[in-house]
Amino acid sequence: MMGVLAGIEDATGFDLRDCDYYVGTSAGAIVAAHLAAGQSPRRPSSMGSDVEAPATPRPAEGLAAAGLAAARRAGAFALAAAATFAPLALGLAAPGGAVARTLLLRRLPRPKQRLTDLRRNIERLEPRFDGRLRVTAVDRGNGRRVVFGSPGAPRAGVAEAVEASCTVPWLFAPVVIGGREYVDGGVWSPTNLDAAPAGRDTHVLCLNPTASIPASSGVLGVIRSVSRTAVSVEALALRRRGAAVRTLAPNAECAEMMGINFMDREPRGRVLAAGYRQGLAFVTASAPVIRTRPQPSLPRPRP
């Protein structure tokens, strides 16, 4: 996501820190918090080379390190849980959806691993809910989506909201905010694109990293299918409001570089570089739509 956004910036001259709104889900919440805090998207040159990892820890590193450890402990159960949750994204408006989500969340074990380092790293950026930033999570107690930073949402700091949005329920302990427990916003939808406060003449860009997972069957195939279906339904809802919506999934090169283990930090330099190239190419192919001075909303989906 960082690479793609950097490529789009360099190809258009538009500073993505000037967007009207940001909507972040899971790792996308990290990207959204960076932009809202005034940080430019990371570029391949900032990593020394296409393959060299940075010496300074990044916020995403806490998520990756914790995820690797927790995934090893969770084993096959994590995959089974993923397969159970993924289809729920197709029934966002179903009356029984929240109830089913709640029952499944309560049946999951309560991991002890927390994303403490991630929260601390986000805190160092000093982001604020200034009306532009939205971070999605799911209330573990009732299975409903909460969009922190939106009008009427529970009060929370950006760092704790981002931690909650990244808390995969079968890998990490729920995050308590205001006496309620919250987990990953991806439990509701991989993108939560419909949470963008978009209306007529709004330009919306949605990054959907899980839509190109290289798998045709099994759990990963289900997740890929859900990602594609959910973003299509949510994009249609925004278009009915009069918004111009563009969605972007990893191209073949990015998908190959990303692989299927999103917690693996080793290929991140190559992924960043591939994403940057895709961002440049995306603008070239979308010249009539991507201009240098629009004010697009930037909802961020889940990697």
| Category of 13 on φ-ψ map: left (φ > 0), alpha (ψ -120 to 50) or beta | left
Q: How confident is the model at residue 170 (pLDDT cuts 50, 70, 90)?
A: confident
Q: What is the pLDDT of residue 10?
A: 94
Bridge partners of residue 245, in order along the sequence: 204
Residue with tokens 């949470």: 195
pTM to 2 decimal places? 0.77
Give the Cβ contact number of residue 225 at 10 Å.
Answer: 18
Structure tokens at 39: 């940080």
pLDDT for residue 274 is more than 80: yes
Structure tokens at 31: 């990207």
Q: What is the pLDDT of residue 189?
A: 82
pLDDT digit string, tens, across residues 86-141 = 444 444 444 456 666 777 777 777 888 899 999 999 999 999 999 999 999 999 98
Q: What is the pLDDT of residue 52?
A: 36
Q: What percent of the chain has pLDDT over 90?
A: 42
Residue with tokens 């859900």: 226
pLDDT for residue 184 is more than 70: yes
Give the Cβ contact number of residue 51 at 10 Å.
Answer: 14
pLDDT for residue 215 is more than 70: no
Question: Which residue in 260, 234, 222 sits closest to 86, CA to CA?
Answer: 222
